[in-house]
Amino acid sequence: MRKAFFIASLSLAISLTAQEPFNTNSAVPDSILNKIIKSTDSFTFCNVSYKISRDCLKKDQSNCCSADLNPYNLQLGCYNGTSLFWTYFKSEFIARQNLESITAQWMQQSKKLSSENITCLLVNEKVPANKISYETKEGHKFYCILTYGVVNGQAVLVQLVSSKELKKNKDIQPVFQQIIKLTE
């Protein structure tokens, strides 16, 4: 599972390297930067603070999660190999262009990729999304919901990546459902 998380993280980094996310230090209002909480029990997404599941002492540690909230690498990961990545942009148009670019890049980099257009909920607002099944040339498989939208006035690209297929909301940890849900 850690290998799938590493591959997903690497793919995201490769995909976003050539993109135009805005300079977080200059374009994000100070109120957002000041609210980035670098603790183990909460994180900030589009200027709203959320709790992080820290069920790390139970036998089932799927809800043992942590965050990396450096302004250029916003991600929330759980022990079961599921992660949420997000990047802020200057506009919704640029976020959409990046979504399209990432999918195109993955198609070139993958052994096998299938993509289905869906609608999901991004902080309870319906938004267009791609549900992606991706297999690397090395044979590692992961699943992704890739979407964009404007939340609290902030354009954002969101990527939910899992080593398991995401068919229903029950397949998504509650900590991630605060941000993204499937429309069932």
State the alpha helices, DSSP H only, in 28-87: 30-35
Q: Which residues partner with 146 through β-bridges?
A: 130, 159
Check which CATH number belongs to the domain holding 17 and give it. Answer: 3.40.1000
Structure tokens at 50: 């959320």
Tell me what percent of the residues of the chain surpass a pLDDT of 90: 35
The number of folded domains in the chain is 1
Structure tokens at 23: 């300079």
pTM (2 d.p.): 0.74
Tell me what percent of the residues of the chain surpass a pLDDT of 70: 74
pLDDT tens digits, one per residue of 13-48: 434 433 444 443 334 444 443 343 334 577 888 878
Domain residues for the domain of 163 are 2-182
pLDDT tens digits, one per residue of 41-97: 778 888 788 887 776 777 777 777 788 777 666 888 887 888 999 999 999 999 999
pLDDT tens digits, one per residue of 106-124: 888 888 889 999 999 999 8
CA angle 143, 131, 10 (to 5 degrees): 45
Backbone angles phi, psi at 73, to 5 degrees: -145, 70
